Amino acid sequence: MGNRLEVTEQSARETGVRLASTARAVLGERVAGVAAIEGSALYLLDRVVSQAEAELLTRSLVDPATQTAHWSTVTAETALQPGTVEVVLRAGVTDPVGAAFEQAAAMVGMAPVRVRSGQRYRVGAESPTDLAAGRYAIEALLRNEIVDELFATTVAQARFTTAPDDVTVEIIPVRSLDAVALHGLSRTRGLALDPEELVALQDYFRSIDRDPTDAELETIAQTWSEHCSHKTFRAAITWDDGTQVVPLLKQLRDSTDTIAASFVRSAFVDNAGIIAFDDRFDVAIKVETHNHPSAVEPFGGANTGVGGVIRDVLGVAADPIATTDILCFGPLDTPADTLPAGVLHPFRVRQGVVAGVADYGNKLGLPTVAGAVVHHDGFTANPLVFCGCIGLRPAGLQLEGQQPGHRIIAIGGATGRDGIRGATFSSTTMDATTGDVAGASVQIGDPIIEKLVADVLVVARDARLFSAITDCGAGGFSSAIGELAAELGADVDLDTAPRKYAGLAPWEVWLSEAQERMVLAVPSGHVAALRSICTDHGVEMCDLGSFRNDGQLIVRCVGSTIVDLPGSFLHDGRPQRQMVASHPTAPEPYGGRNDDAIVANAAQILLAVLAHSDVRSNEDIVRGYDHEIMGATISRPYQGAADDGPADAAVLAPVRSTSGRGLTIGIGVGYRTGDIDAYRMACASIDEAVRNAVCVGADPDQIALLDNFSWGDPRRPETLGKLVQAVRGCVDGAAQFQAPFVSGKDSLNNEYETAAGTCRSIPPTLVITALAIVPDALRTVSSDAKQAGNRIVLVGGHGVDLRGSVLDSVLGIDGPGSVPGASVDAAARYRAVHQAMRSGLVRAAHDVSDGGLLSCVAEMCIGGRLGARLNLVDGSLPNGVVAALFGETSGRIVLEVEPSDCDAVLALTGGEVIGSFEHEAHVVVTLSQGPVLDVGLADLLHAWRGHVVFGGFA
């Protein structure tokens, strides 16, 4: 028996009404009678506290101005009132809130107390049927069975992991297994190994005349996983006609080597790519995916995705300064009864992912400065979460590198049963059982610990206390230590590793992906100094062993040797995957376009385009993130007269730099056209990312790129063919702009197998991130229109490409024509635009992308609260009026230019004047025969941001 504390916000009723409204919109008639779902925070203590202790805790944890506290003592038999449901984290799931409560109790002098956190929900409804409907809404939208226990009849109980230590080291008999049994072993243990890899593993252990331990088998599986070894991108691929394909990763690396940009400091060899910034600093950048975990547990998956990519930047000894996120969800109006078994509703996924992203970076004091949000049916079962981080490190920093005898030091969080087999889990197709078998793959982060770890690393780096560093990501210690020891070997003793709780098997300690841990190589003479820094910052540190000089990885735990493997086999023993790609066949368009009808209804179609989920404002998400922490954000995600116009890219001026330079992050997201032409999609994505950066003032000759591929099962030849096409598009796009790739990530097997055995794959999705230098951070250009009378200049010509456009999505067709691809002279054009900006000739700039020219101009008007008048000559439109208004052809930018500067800008850029901004709050389009569109600014605003609701759920 123990105490419980319930903390209720004064706004709980208002929030509960909004939540019920959202539940009705998402779940339909089944919850029509639910008027409110009010929540309050719940803390379950493992003992009864005194009144004095309760008063101390209340003063420490509860804000009397906005919250009320209620203490109670209950037993396991205490019944809940009808319509009350309690949700508490399961035993063993990382609970940062509970841990913070325990720390607060210790700080006020209380005896030790263990705490589990949760939520208590009260359903506002009258009939028993509606009360039950409220419980259904809570289970569907607010509870995840993998990490939460639900109590609906009796009060929640705090359950803590109390299992005794597990010292078992299992020997797995593989030498005697036939092919069928080997496959069964792989499937049963979730190894995700190919048949050829299983044979190579078996042959190795036959050669040394013994069977592997469980830890060795799991170590090999995670090291050889798609997630860690990128075996598709390293595969030997042939087209189905026998033509050889250069391995995909080699193509990307060779592209960077060929470009040979002088500003690249490190590409593809470290945890993050690194480029030069100024005389004092280099810049590190990495973008990671956390797709499978976010599908299973949205908050934890996204949360630890952010934490993991921040650790990638810490893993190159850089100081994180900002984060990015690109999020892909299913449609929010998806009927709940159409979801496959085991799939969370897109609203539940989006709610958890958005909260998980916000919870991590901002708590570390990092602004979230760039990103995108898209919705598509293909992401319903497989949401995509791309998390990025940018960091600074001293210019020219060189670490000595690990040497024999250097100590293997781990700092940060303790090890628990979280993230077990995460690398192999992320390398498989999901199905209805994924939640059951992958529960241990779920990770919950603790950003406060990561902040302390980051602070330790800065001090230790500047004192030159470590010789090498990496993060504990996929595979945990097995990956981090295994990679650092790949050539030297290592002696590791896991007994010194701190545990969150007892009961972990040795292989689980070795493989756990528990968060907030970094591994360092430290010369023996520096260990004491590092320990002192860790103590000062309240960070745990453990000495796990030392590096050898014979290449052998030896791991011991509880007196047993659990791993004894040569690095040569672990890292080079995997057979190269042999794959066949077939040339994709573009699907035939299934719908035509009635151009006359589109022109006749252009006003209504423009409003529908602005309201489309790929175009509309994402303020309801972005305003929940702090994009100004650290005070370095010059250009923000929203700008203009009312600070609600869309920016093309954020600009940062790092506060420790004195060069006056800025950084910008442009993003290109391709997914709507990948099934039609993956090559052109890749070219267009690079163009969009570069174009976004150029629009805010970036130097087009100082841009580095990152690629993130999220694809279906590459073992399907046509799916692989699209991936090969996309990589070729990336290589050609990088060459066009002379913008080298410095890092990348592939996330494959993003598919969901239904109970009927059919697979639902995501559309081929490519995210390109452009990291660029802005020569003068104080002379950036924004997208909002500035002044009536200024000219609207279109650079790059009129639209041609309509297939895969937002227009087609709005019309519900797949119309004819081409999809956007490369614009052959875009690089020279962007240099000209940049020169015009540097000369002070450009008042505003906005890229023409989703929704086409009309959408672009409308967004500029929204930002500046001005109108616009466009005058188009029918005969000069190469593919007609509809393509001119809504086409998404690459390489185009709209500029706002003062009349006196027009001739100079046109001479530089080759653009054309197509209209002017006006005081009258309307967007008007006139063709040769007269006006074809006249839409008021109020209607444009309502379409673009009318869905936005703050302080609750949209």
Rounded to two decimals, the pTM is 0.92
Residue 824 neighbours by CB distance under 10 Å: 11
What confidence score (pLDDT) does residue 862 get? 97
Residue pair 699/772 in contact by the 8 Å Cβ criterion: yes
What are 412's two structure tokens?
């940060």
What confidence score (pLDDT) does residue 1 get? 58
**Distance (Å, whole) CA 946 – CA 944:** 6
Residue pair 655/630 in contact by the 8 Å Cβ criterion: yes
- The beta-carbon contacts of 619-625 under 8 Å, at least 24 apart in sequence, are 619/644, 619/945, 619/948, 619/950, 620/947, 620/948, 620/949, 620/950, 620/954, 621/327, 621/354, 621/373, 622/368, 622/371, 623/950, 624/354, 624/358, 625/357, 625/358, 625/361, 625/362, 625/367, 625/368
Which string of b and e fits 134-166 if b means at least 16 CB within 10 Å?
A: bbbbbbbbbbbebbbbbbbeebbbbeebeeeee
What are 732's two structure tokens?
């050609």
242 — alpha (psi -120 to 50), left (phi > 0) or beta? left
Q: Which amino acid is at 319?
A: D
Q: Which residues are catalytic?
A: 227, 290
What confidence score (pLDDT) does residue 454 get? 96
560-566 and 662-670 beta bridge pairing? unpaired
**Distance (Å, whole) CA 161 – CA 691:** 52
What are 895-909's pLDDT values in tens digits?
Answer: 999 999 999 999 999
Residue pair 915/835 in contact by the 8 Å Cβ criterion: no
Q: Is 191 exposed, middle or buried (0-12, 13-18, 19+ CB in 10 A)?
A: buried
Reference 460, options 320, 314, 360, 362; nearest CA is 314
**Distance (Å, whole) CA 376 – CA 658:** 44
Greatest alpha-carbon span in the chain: 88
Reference 476, options 518, 539, 522; nearest CA is 518
Q: What's the gap between Cα 465 and its chain centre?
A: 32
| 708 bridge partner residues | 745, 767
Residue pair 925/872 in contact by the 8 Å Cβ criterion: yes
User: Where do the H-state alpha helices sit in 432-498?
Assistant: 434-437, 447-462, 476-484
Give the end-to-end CA distance of the chain in Å, rounded to a whole number: 40
**Distance (Å, whole) CA 817 – CA 589:** 8
Q: What's the gap between Cα 680 and its chain centre?
A: 24
Reference 806, options 639, 944, 643; nearest CA is 944
**Distance (Å, whole) CA 889 – CA 880:** 13
Low-confidence ranges of the chain (pLDDT < 70): 1, 162, 419, 421-442, 949-954
Say which DSSP state 79 is in: B
**Distance (Å, whole) CA 869 – CA 888:** 20
Residue pair 603/839 in contact by the 8 Å Cβ criterion: no
What are 920-954's pLDDT values in tens digits?
Answer: 999 999 998 889 999 999 999 999 998 875 443 33
Q: Residue 734 belongs to what H/E stretch?
A: helix 717-737
**Distance (Å, whole) CA 303 – CA 445:** 6
State whether residue 400 is helix, strand or coil.
coil
Q: What's the gap between Cα 6 and its chain centre?
A: 33
Q: Residue 180 belongs to what H/E stretch?
A: helix 179-189
State whether residue 885 is helix, strand or coil.
helix
What confidence score (pLDDT) does residue 444 get? 78
Residue 91 φ/ψ, nearest 5 degrees: -60, 135
What confidence score (pLDDT) does residue 427 get? 46
Evaluate the CA torsion angle 611, 616, 621, 626 in order and state its sign: negative
Say which DSSP state 78 is in: P
